[in-house]
């Protein structure tokens, strides 16, 4: 019977073409929107993780309590040994040391006098050791506007907008004026190797990036770092895993009575990121459910209308003696095959469009001017496991339910009135 029904659908295009197209469109939109929402929500976390929070962050207890102030006087000491232990105990993560700091950048003129100054957010990362991939993680090569990445000690990069404001170009000298780990004043000279533009307003407004060893010398932080960041090797943040890891580390390592003992915090435990993680999970679930429900109604109605349009065919089949139950079951099987074919086709097309957006993204940099929160300037979708099956929920189930509902009328048909209906 199944083989007979499939042949009938293949040969009678009027019964299969339009329903499959309708199902494919609905499933395609469902899959694409789910991937888009997942990617959009996740990109905000990954942007903040790469530049600031990491998927998990290790710092001193006192530093964690004053995290927004970036207090380098409360930084981790003997951080090299701690970094080694983290890499041994948590090999599934990528670990890197960083120093975040604030300071004043002074650009001198030809006589050495101050020509321009501006406050900057500083970031000391592992650029020169060759043991990390910080430049790839922060996408420095693709963000480069002028010059090149630092290739030796004493070189630094400025954000391009900040460099223009200071009127400096690659090759010029600038001076970092700040406070050391011990509280004394520090002045350290850098050569600008290049300028970068991240597409993130808060970073492009004023930032300096240099190798962490240079920053250690400038801020008197030998074998110290403000924080050690951990990143999932998969590249995506998993909140439950990160919180479990943090709890285990803190119970084994952190000492509550020592403000300089190391402690670990997940991304969701830093600042307001926890609220964004919860909002993301809720929004993603609600928006996906609403869209699936809407598509289900559309496809349900399509199945319902398809069944109603076939009442004439049903009347003929009843008139020649076919059982009502057999007709009902055959219509349900037909709708199942139509829903299955449309779901496979729609999922394939939806995944293709999601892949395009995931690979190339949608540029929204024009909407990000003046933003104070780190958000990506390019929105990308993210294809996850649910995208491969989520479209089958409205595609198959709704189509079948619509046919089942419309098919109930078969049992109400009176054989005595069939010929009158057919003559009409």
How far is the C-alpha of 405 from the C-alpha of 38, rounded, in Å? 34
How far is the C-alpha of 198 from the C-alpha of 137, rounded, in Å? 12
Of the candidates 381, 371, 379, the one whose C-alpha atom is nearest the C-alpha of residue 200 is 371
Q: What sections of 114-159 are H helices per DSSP?
A: 134-137, 140-143
What pLDDT tens digit does each residue of the chain (424 aa) get?
556 556 555 555 556 677 778 888 888 888 888 888 888 777 777 777 888 888 999 999 999 888 878 888 899 988 989 999 999 999 989 999 999 998 999 999 888 888 899 999 899 999 988 777 888 888 888 888 999 999 999 999 999 999 999 999 999 999 999 899 888 899 999 999 999 988 777 788 889 999 999 999 999 999 899 999 999 887 778 888 888 999 999 988 877 678 888 999 998 888 777 677 777 667 667 766 776 777 667 666 665 666 556 666 666 666 677 777 777 787 778 778 888 888 899 999 999 999 998 888 777 655 545 444 445 567 788 888 888 988 888 888 877 777 777 667 666 656 555 555 555 5
CB atoms within 10 A of CB 358: 17
Residue 377: per-residue pLDDT: 60
Q: What is the pTM of this model?
A: 0.68
Cβ atoms of 406 and 304 closer than 8 Å: yes
CB atoms within 10 A of CB 134: 22
- Report the DSSP pairing between strands 155-159 and 207-211: antiparallel
Question: Would you give the distance in Å from CA 101 to the centre of its chain?
Answer: 27
Residue 363: enclosing H or E segment and its boundaries?
strand 362-363
Q: What is the 3-state secondary structure (H, E, C) of the chain?
A: CHHHHHHHHHHCHHHHHHHHHHHHHHHHHHHHHHHHHHHHHHHHHHHHHHHHHCCEEEEEHHHHHCHHHCCHHHCEECHHHHHHHHHHHCCCEEEEEEEEEEEEEEEECCCCCEEEEEEEEEEEECCCCCCCCHHHHCCHHHHEEEECCCCCCCEEEEEHHHHHHHCCCCCCEEEEEEECCCCCEEEEEEEEEEEECCCCHHHHCCEEEEEHHHHHHHCCCCCEECEEEEEECCCCCCHHHHHHHHHHHHHHCCCCCCCCCEEEEEHHHCCCHHHHHHHHHHHHHHHHHHHHHHHHHHHHHHHHHHHHHCHHHHHHHHHCCCCHHHHHHHHHHHHHHHHHHHHHHHHHHHHHHHHHHHHHCEECHHHCCCCCCCCCCEECCCCCHHHHCCCHHHHHHHHHHHHHHHHHHHHHCCHHHHHHHHHC
Residue 219: per-residue pLDDT: 92
Q: Which residues contact 322 (CB under 8 A, 6 or more apart)?
A: none
How far is the C-alpha of 390 from the C-alpha of 289, rounded, in Å? 10
Residue 260: per-residue pLDDT: 87
51-103 per-position pLDDT tens digit: 888 899 999 999 988 887 888 889 998 898 999 999 999 998 999 999 999 89
217-259 per-position pLDDT tens digit: 999 999 899 999 999 887 778 888 888 999 999 988 877 678 8
How far is the C-alpha of 75 from the C-alpha of 58, rounded, in Å? 10
């Amino acid at each position: 019977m199944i083989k007979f029904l499939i042949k009938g659908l293949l040969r009678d295009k009027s019964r299969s073409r339009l329903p499959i197209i309708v199902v494919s469109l609905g499933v395609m939109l469902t899959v694409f929107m789910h991937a888009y929402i997942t990617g959009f929500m996740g990109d905000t976390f990954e942007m903040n993780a790469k530049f600031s929070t990491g998927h998990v962050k290790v710092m001193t207890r006192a530093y964690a309590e004053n995290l927004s102030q970036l207090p380098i006087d409360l930084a981790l000491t003997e951080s090299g040994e701690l970094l080694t232990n983290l890499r041994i105990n948590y090999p599934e993560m990528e670990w890197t040391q960083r120093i975040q700091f604030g300071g004043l950048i002074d650009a001198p003129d030809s006589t050495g006098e101050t020509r321009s100054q501006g406050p900057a957010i500083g970031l000391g990362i592992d650029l020169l050791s060759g043991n990390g991939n910080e430049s790839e993680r922060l996408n420095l090569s693709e963000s480069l506007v002028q010059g090149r990445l630092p290739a030796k000690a004493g070189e630094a990069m400025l954000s391009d907008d900040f460099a223009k404001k200071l009127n400096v170009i690659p090759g010029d000298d600038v001076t970092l004026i700040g406070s050391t780990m011990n509280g004394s004043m520090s002045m350290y000279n850098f050569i600008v190797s290049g300028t970068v533009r991240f597409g993130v307003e808060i970073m492009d407004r004023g930032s300096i990036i240099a190798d962490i060893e240079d920053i250690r010398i400038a801020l008197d932080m030998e074998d110290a770092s403000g924080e050690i960041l951990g990143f999932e090797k998969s590249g995506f943040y998993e909140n439950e895993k990160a919180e479990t890891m943090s709890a285990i580390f803190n119970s084994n390592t952190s000492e509550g009575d020592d403000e300089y003992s190391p402690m670990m915090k997940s991304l969701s435990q830093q600042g307001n990121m926890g609220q964004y993680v919860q909002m993301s999970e809720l929004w993603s679930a609600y928006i996906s459910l609403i869209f699936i429900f809407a598509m289900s109604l559309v496809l349900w109605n399509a199945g319902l209308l398809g069944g109603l349009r076939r009442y004439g065919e049903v009347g003929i089949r009843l008139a020649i003696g076919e059982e009502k139950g057999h007709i009902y079951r055959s219509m349900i099987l037909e709708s199942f095959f139509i829903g299955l074919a449309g779901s496979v086709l729609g999922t394939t097309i939806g995944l293709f469009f999601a892949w395009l957006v995931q690979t190339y993204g949608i540029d929204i940099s024009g909407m990000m001017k003046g933003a104070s929160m780190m958000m990506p300037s390019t929105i990308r979708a993210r294809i996850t496991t649910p995208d491969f099956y989520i479209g089958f929920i409205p595609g198959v189930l709704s189509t079948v339910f619509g046919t089942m509902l419309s098919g109930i009328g078969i049992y109400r048909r009176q054989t005595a009135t069939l010929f009158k209906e057919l003559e009409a």
